Amino acid sequence: MAPLAGLTAHGAGRSPAGRVALRHLIDLGATPGAARAGRNASADGELVTVTRSGTQQTARVEQPLLCCRIDWACSGGAPLVDETTVQAATGLMAVHGRNRGTPRRIPVDYASTCAGVIAVQGVLAALVARERGAAVTSVGTSVTHAALLTISQYLAAGTAQEEEHLPAVEGRPGPPFRSRDGVWFEIEALDAVPWRAFWTALGAPVKDISQGWPSFMHRYPKAVSPLAPSLHEAVSVVDFERILGVAEASGMSVCRIRTMAERRADRDALRAGRVPPPWRFRPFGDPGRPAPPGTAPHPDQPLAGLTVIEAGRRVQAPLAAHMLALLGARVIRIEPPGGDPLRGMPPMIDDCSARFLALNRTKEAEIADLKTPAGRQTVRELVREADVFLHNWAPGKAAAFELDAPELAAVNPRLVYGYASGWGDALGERPPLGTDFMAQAHSGLADLMADGGRPRPSLMTLLDVLGGLVAAEGLLAALVARERTGRGQRMDSSLLSASTVLQYQALERPLRRHAPGCGNTGLPALEGPYPTADGWLAVSAGSTTAVGRLCRELGLDPAAPAELLRQEVAARLLDRPAAEWVGRLAAARVSAAVVATDLTRLDTAPATAHALTHDGCTFVNSPWRFGA
């Protein structure tokens, strides 16, 4: 299925976000068009345009349809000009670095990738609105706003009135683990029974097993998981094959951290040397089924008048539905009797979890016990009048509930049915638990982010968030197809397929490791962040010219060995406050940013305040601006 067939996408694709946006529009069926010279890229961002072919007298012409602007900074914000400065100013480095006790740059273009996906969401939502009679002609977003959305749960929890307590990590390493024969691996359990059985069989101390479970369980909401060294010692004296046997007997899921070379060899990773799109679409129902009459939506709310039924848990599906709610859709969550247990996770805002509100505050709730016929019938009745149904249940659950696509398509032939899974069908009928950190391990992402010979998966939910964004993007594409053809659609995406969006270059054009964000593999890794006299500073040194300017300003020799040069940069930057260095380096034409380590200050900081609202805790506003 090609939802954008007949349209042409123009863009320079010079920025990381622009490249992702242009690629996804083409993956969805748009024809690649020539870049609009002088208009598509600048120091501030990138412009992607969508046109439709037409005829004017005897000539074939491209009729402008939509333009999408992707800026680095939010409107009215501080000058953020690249991935490094955005990660620094938005708190991404701080959250990613929690498990190591210091801010760390995510060593892939994470914020830019998310911004490219969010830009396409805006384009697709505008196309849906146009099909429904709205005159939307422009969309805008920014990498800074996208970065803030990726930490929305951590931001809400860190700014709630009830204080959030983060455990100390010094001397207490968290996941991943390493076996005696040198295999790095992740483990996963959704309750304490497999956890206790696994570690008990390996001879770990009972006290450390008991104290470790809450820390391990809370690594998702807190991005930190300090564990007693004895747990690492227990696996370090056992070969990986034995660990797999213990895991099988105890019910623990284990996933070896694979290399990018191994991932590249998977049958689902490449198709004719190219990474396939992260979604799959299948139409159902009869073509040409007319849409019910309705009122054209306002451009600022392109999905107004549409209804989404979400049966989601954790982050992936709830975030996808949240994005549709921000676009104006009515979203109804299916929750079990007593409500979603995550509503009670501290810190609280009145009687509800701040983390839960970050993804669900715009939604209605419907209680339905899906283990009962009555509960399942409740879902069918809701779907009868809905436009989208989305779930991220474990494999086989939808069929067991008789709520899979065929059953719901029979109830509503115009339905868009979405399944946001962990693995898709890549790992067969008995896959391990398909959660964020397991997907980071299997996909090669943890290996891609390695340093010092050790894989460094993030304890920030990188793939849960990106997986949710990719799922929302797929649902919007399916809505475009439905509006254009009248047929209902099924959309499938997964955490594993979302991981490939971060790995296009690593999978298709593998290079030896190099500094994050650098185009030259010989460049020293000088981004930082670095401690200064009063805080942390990140610098942008992604070209030979930038490295030379930085070294001239600091009085250093750019030809020095890379590790020595990094040490000398660190020593020089200790002399002055971070903000003073930003000004001095700017005068030397080197971009730098103070690293935001206190999330409570983001809603007043010039670079981020425009994107945030404080109401009991800090929430991230809608990331798009639409024009008619």
Q: Report, as an integer, the average pLDDT of 102-131.
A: 97
Looking at 475, 508, 541, which one is the last position of a domain? Answer: 508
The model scores a pTM over 0.85: yes
Closest residue by Cα to residue 158 from 361, 346, 362, 359? 346
Residue type present at position 98: R
Count CA atoms closer than 13 A to 553's CA, side-chain side: 22
Which stretches within 132-259 are classed as H helix?
143-150, 152-158, 192-201, 206-217, 219-222, 229-236, 240-250
Q: Report, as an integer, the average pLDDT of 414-428.
A: 95
pLDDT for 357 equals 97
Q: What is the pLDDT of residues 226-237, one digit of tens each?
A: 999 999 999 999
DSSP β-ladder status, 536-539 and 530-531: antiparallel
* Rounded (10°) CA dihedral 549, 553, 555, 557: -10
pLDDT for 188 equals 97
Q: Give me the DSSP letters along 279-301.
A: -EEEEES-TTPPPPP-PPPPTTS
Q: Assess whether pLDDT exceeds 50 at residue 519.
A: no
Average pLDDT of the chain is: 93
Mean pLDDT is lowest, of 161-170, 548-557, 609-618, for 161-170
Q: What is the pLDDT of residues 25-69, one digit of tens each?
A: 999 999 999 876 444 445 578 999 999 975 555 556 678 899 999
Q: Which residues contact 397 (CB under 8 A, 6 or more apart)?
A: 391
Structure letter (DSSP) for residue 361: T
Q: Assess whether pLDDT exceeds 50 at residue 517.
A: no
Q: Is 171 exposed, middle or buried (0-12, 13-18, 19+ CB in 10 A)?
A: exposed
* Phi-psi group of 4: left, alpha or beta (phi > 0 → left; psi -120 to 50 → alpha; rest → beta): alpha
Alpha-carbon distances of 379 from 311, 323, 404, 434, 490, rounded to whole Å: 9, 21, 11, 25, 17
Looking at 256, 275, 291, which one is the last position of a domain? Answer: 256
| 605 in any annotated domain | no
Query: Percent of the chain beyond pLDDT 90?
Result: 85
Model confidence band, residue 522 (pLDDT cutoffs 50, 70, 90): low
Q: What is the pLDDT of residues 361-415, one digit of tens each?
A: 999 999 999 999 999 999 999 999 999 999 999 999 999 999 999 999 999 999 9
| 193 shares a domain with 153 | no
Cβ–Cβ under 8 Å, residues 437 and 459? yes
Q: Is 471 exposed, middle or buried (0-12, 13-18, 19+ CB in 10 A)?
A: buried
| 54 in any annotated domain | yes
| 470 shares a domain with 342 | yes
| 440 shares a domain with 307 | yes
Q: Give me the DSSP letters along 85-142.
A: HHHHHHTHHHHHTGGGTS----SS-HHHHHHHHHHHHHHHHHHHHHHTT----EEEEE
- The range of the structural domain enclosing residue 535 comes to 530-594
| 627 in any annotated domain | no
| 497 shares a domain with 386 | yes
| 514 in any annotated domain | no
| 568 shares a domain with 424 | no
| 482 shares a domain with 417 | yes
| 15 in any annotated domain | yes
Q: Which sign does the torsion angle of CA 386, 367, 375, 280 carry?
A: positive
Task: Pick the more confident residue, 20 or 39.
Answer: 20
pLDDT for 56 equals 53
Q: Strands across the sheet with 184-188, in order?
A: 177-178, 184-188, 253-256
pLDDT for 41 equals 47
Give the CATH number of the domain where residue 82 resides: 3.40.50.10540
pLDDT for 181 equals 97
Residue type present at position 332: I
pLDDT for 523 equals 66
Coil, helix or strand for 490? strand
| 99 shares a domain with 38 | yes
| 461 shares a domain with 317 | yes
Please state the domain count of the chain.
Answer: 3
Q: Report, as an integer, the average pLDDT of 406-429.
A: 95
Calpha distance 405→389 (Å, rounded): 9
Structure tokens that stand for 457 in this block: 């998966």
| 33 in any annotated domain | yes
| 599 in any annotated domain | no
pLDDT for 516 equals 45
pLDDT for 624 equals 98
Q: What are phi and psi of 161, to 5 degrees?
A: -65, -40
**Residue 2 burial (CB count, 10 A):** 13
Closest residue by Cα to residue 436 from 531, 608, 319, 326? 319
| 151 shares a domain with 289 | yes
Q: Assess whether pLDDT exceeds 90 at residue 583.
A: yes
| 217 shares a domain with 155 | no
| 193 shares a domain with 159 | no
* Neighbouring-strand partners of residue 46: 41, 70
* Rounded (10°) CA dihedral 139, 143, 145, 148: 150
| 250 in any annotated domain | yes
What is the maximal distance between C-alpha atoms in the chain?
82
Calpha distance 526→529 (Å, rounded): 8
CA triple 522-504-318, angle to 5 deg? 125
Calpha distance 209→221 (Å, rounded): 20
Calpha distance 585→365 (Å, rounded): 51
Q: Report, as an integer, the average pLDDT of 308-329.
A: 97
Looking at 226, 256, 286, which one is the last position of a domain? Answer: 256
Preceding omega of 173 cis (within 30 degrees of 0): no
| 321 shares a domain with 229 | no
pLDDT for 451 equals 82
Calpha distance 327→246 (Å, rounded): 47
Q: Is 452 exposed, middle or buried (0-12, 13-18, 19+ CB in 10 A)?
A: exposed
Calpha distance 220→435 (Å, rounded): 10
